[in-house]
Amino acid sequence: MFLGVLNLPTVVTFLGMFLALTTIFLAFHGHFAGALISLMFAGICDLSDGALARRMEMTDDERAFGVQIDSIVDMASFGVTPALFGLLLGMQSIPDMILLTFFVSCAAMRLAYFNVHGLVAEGGKKFYTGLPVTYAAIIFPLITVLQTVIPPDIFAIVFRATVFLTAMAFITRVQTPKPQGKTLLIFPVLAIGFTVFYATTTIHPLP
C-alpha cells in the first residue's frame, strides 16, 4: 500500500534525520551546545545504517533504495542542517548567505557524484572521492571548541573559514579512506567526548 522500503537500516537513517531536525530546533531556541551534540549523533546514525545494511540479506531493489534514501537524508542532515545552524548562530549577512548557499550546493554536488560513481577501490581498500558530507557532524563540533579559548571576533572568522573549507573539501578530488573495522570506533568515541564537553559549555552566537 505504501511506497519505499522500511527495514532496520532505513529506521536508523530516519532516526538520524530526526536528530538533525532536533539540531535545528535546539539552535533555533539558542541551545547551540545541545544542537552540536544532536548533530554528532545524527552522524553516528549515518555511519550505523550502512553497517547494518551490509549485514542484512536484501534484494537489489532494497539496496538501491537504501542508497538513495541515505543520500537524500544526508543532504538534509549534513548539508542543510549545518547551514541552518550557522544561520541561527549568527551568519546572517549577505556574504554569509552566499557562503552558506555555497556550502549546501557543494554538499549536493558531493552526494550526486557519489550516487553516480560510488566508491573507488585501490589496493584492497575503498576510498571516497571528496570528503563525505557526514564528516560535517564532527568538523563543526570540533571547530566550535575554539570558541572557549579564542576571542569572539577571531572565532567568527575561523568558523566562516571552516564552512568554506569544508565545502571545498566536499568537491575536491581527494581520496578519503572509507572507515572500516576499528576505525569506525573513532566517531562514537569523539561524539561521547564532545557530548561531555558540551554538556557543561555554553556556546554564544557569532558577533
pLDDT in tens, 85-102: 999 999 999 999 999 999
Say what the pTM is. Answer: 0.95
Spans of all domains in the chain: 8-198
Q: Is the pLDDT of residue 123 over 90?
A: no
Transcribe 177-207 into DSSP letters. EPP-GGGGGHHHHHHHHHHHHHTT--PPPP-
Of 124 and 140, more confident: 140
Tell which CATH architecture fits domain 8-198: Up-down Bundle (1.20)
Q: Is the pLDDT of residue 1 over 90?
A: no
Tens-digit pLDDT profile for residues 6-19: 999 999 999 999 99
Lowest mean pLDDT across 54-63, 76-85, 158-167, 187-196: 54-63
Q: Is the pLDDT of residue 204 over 80?
A: yes
Task: Report yes or no: 119 and 175 within 8 Å, Cβ to Cβ.
Answer: no
